[in-house]
Amino acid sequence: MERNPVVYVVSDSMGETAQLVAKAVLSQFPGGNVGLRRFSHIETPDAALEVMKAARDQPTMVIFTVIIPEVRDVIKRQADKHGVPLVDIMGPALEGMEQISGESALLEPGLIHKLDERYFQRVEAVEFAVNHDDGKNPKGYRNADVVLLGVSRSSKTPVSMYLANRALKVANLPLVPEVATPPELHRVPSGKIVGLTISPAKLAGIRKLRVRAMGLPGQTDYSDLSRIQDELVYAQTLYAELGCEVLDVTDRAVEETAALVMNLVGNPIDPGD
């Protein structure tokens, strides 16, 4: 019989939380003669019984994050029967939360990893938005959930980033009358394209502020009202050609525009998100 002490990490999910606790504890005992074994996805009473039988073969402490009631019962009964030290990480926290919230726990293993999956979807969407901002990489339009079009300073980039943080893959393309749109745009279904428009006077004011911030002197074509009107007419003509939805962003907050975009492409923002 092996007599070296060991810590068992037991979980009905991955067991990462319990393993972090075990490692933190072991760091306080630098002798190095205590082993560590991890048992993931212990989801049935029979599987739990096998683990607990093995725990009797040497001095063992069990640290567990198990929420399936029948599996928890086996672990606790076997530990009590054979004098195995037991550390229940999830149980007291679940009971305390039920007490203060008045709700019952879902008791579904692995929920935190489902949340993590949502997080990584957002990260991927943000990377996509950055790589397809301001007309970059039009070949990627086929993988976009939505393509935003608009003249310069019509809030394409901030709306794209807001949507990306809702896990939507967004590309955006600035419209300039003298620059042809990429052929890839015309292969995107019209339901995935949203054109942004804005009042000429509002846009002129925004661009004048931009010109000043860049340290450029006086009036430029960029902020000239007549030029802006020509750009907006060009944009409206293109929107009609593409058959896409059009949103007027004049006096609209980024969040409001983003919510409207998601509704248009059939992916409404959850108010609680």
Q: Which of 63, 87, 109 is the last residue of a domain?
A: 109
Query: Is 125 among the domain residues?
Result: yes
Same domain, 142 and 87: no
- Percent of the chain topping pLDDT 90: 64
- Percent of the chain topping pLDDT 70: 92
Quote the pLDDT of residue 112. Answer: 58
Same domain, 139 and 158: yes
Separation CA 14–CA 11 (nearest Å): 6
Quote the pLDDT of residue 91. Answer: 83
Query: Is 270 among the domain residues?
Result: no
Q: Which of 58, 79, 109 is the last residue of a domain?
A: 109
Same domain, 174 and 252: yes
- Summarised one tens digit per residue, pLDDT across range 27-69 is 898 877 899 999 999 989 999 999 999 999 899 999 998 888 8
Tell me the average pLDDT across 158-182.
95
**SS3 state of residue 8:** strand
- Summarised one tens digit per residue, pLDDT across range 111-140 is 655 556 677 788 899 999 999 999 999 999
Query: Is 196 among the domain residues?
Result: yes
Query: Is 269 among the domain residues?
Result: no
Same domain, 77 and 132: no
Query: Is 271 among the domain residues?
Result: no
Same domain, 243 and 149: yes
Q: Which of 86, 109, 132 is the last residue of a domain?
A: 109
36, β-bridge pairs: 7
Quote the pLDDT of residue 116. Answer: 60
pLDDT of residue 161 exceeding 80, the answer is yes
Quote the pLDDT of residue 266. Answer: 79
Tell me the residue range of the domain where 227 lies.
Answer: 118-264
CB atoms within 10 A of CB 34: 15
Helix or strand holding residue 123 (H, E): helix 111-131
- Please give the full DSSP string across 169-214, using - where no structure is assigned: -EEEEE--TTSPPPGGGGGS-GGGEEEEE--HHHHHHHHHHHHHHT
Residue 216's pLDDT band, with cuts at 50, 70 and 90, is confident
Same domain, 127 and 37: no
Same domain, 29 and 83: yes
What residues contact residue 14 under an 8 Å CB cut-off, 6+ apart? 40, 41, 110, 113
pLDDT of residue 270 exceeding 60, the answer is no
Same domain, 148 and 177: yes
Same domain, 104 and 13: yes
Same domain, 124 and 257: yes
- Among the ranges given (84-88, 90-94, 133-137, 154-158), the one the predictor scored with the smallest mean pLDDT: 90-94
CA dist list (Å): 237 to 87, 103, 161, 192 = 68, 55, 26, 18
| CATH number for 54 | 3.40.50
- Summarised one tens digit per residue, pLDDT across range 177-207 is 999 999 999 999 999 999 999 999 999 999 9
- pTM of the predicted protein model: 0.61
Separation CA 171–CA 270 (nearest Å): 21
CB atoms within 10 A of CB 176: 14
Same domain, 81 and 177: no
Average pLDDT along the chain: 89
Overall number of domains in the chain: 2
Same domain, 139 and 42: no
